[in-house]
Amino acid sequence: MINLKGKTAIITGSGRGIGKAVALRLVSLGVNVVVNGTVGSNSADITAEEIISAGGEAISVKCDISKYAETEELIKKTLDKYGSIDILINNAGITKDNLIMRMNESDFDDVIATNLKGAFNCTKAVCRSMMKQRGGAIVNMTSVVGVMGNAGQANYAASKAGMIGLTKSTAKEFASRGITCNAIAPGFTKSDMTDKLPDNIREDYLKAIPLGKFAETEDIADAVVFLVSDMAKYITGQVLHVDGGLVM
């Protein structure tokens, strides 16, 4: 029996996609959720309102996680509202795909800044609170691309591979304080992006997946629930592939 009632979770990039699915799943288990999105987008506000309308507890806090001062403010607002932070899901990510020879320096820097530095910033900003309460669970959303690479995604693959190293280092540094840190590596997941792929490309991707189908965002959310629950209290520094067998 999973018991997360009354815990508080910050989920970056949770206005849509996998992050939103994680937020909705955690709320269904009684978790107070901080929905995070970027300034200039109203997706985080909409998700938080959806949760509240359904009887859940949530607030929306928008910030640029690539800037440490803004992640500190994210943590402060969460503590002011709920008093503690038990779960951090570093999910926010962007893509700016291109072949290496055509990739602009800014496209590389922007992806690293959001995906990798953003995860570092949030982890650093939350660690004192978690260490003080001697407990917490951090989950970093990496990708199969961070494990196997992908042509046209050198920046994204590098950021996601970096998150795996960050996960293992965080796990080693915080284990003595009862804090776990693990990563989830989703494979191809149903989303607006995969829906727009040409049929022949979709078929090629599907052929590479032993289970023969794309993941649902809920599949990723279920894996998150496991890793932040007491069922995984003796698991840290691991990368859980939720990819239908794509990477074996």
Cβ within 8 Å of residue 144, ≥6 positions away? 185, 186, 187, 241, 243, 246, 247
Pair 63, 36: CB distance under 8 Å:
yes
- Residue 156 bears catalytic tag: yes
Q: Which of 68, 82, 156, 205 is catalytic?
A: 156
Bridge partners (DSSP) listed for residue 58? 33
Q: Which residues lie closer than 8 Å to 76 by C-beta, 6 or more apart?
A: none
Cα 48 to Cα 31: distance, rounded to the nearest angstrom = 13
Using the structure block, give the residue that is written with the tokens 């899901």: 89
Tokens of 98: 């291109």
Measured CA to CA, the distance from residue 209 to residue 8 in angstroms comes to 35
CA 185 to CA 124: how far, in whole Å?
22
Positions annotated as catalytic residues are 156
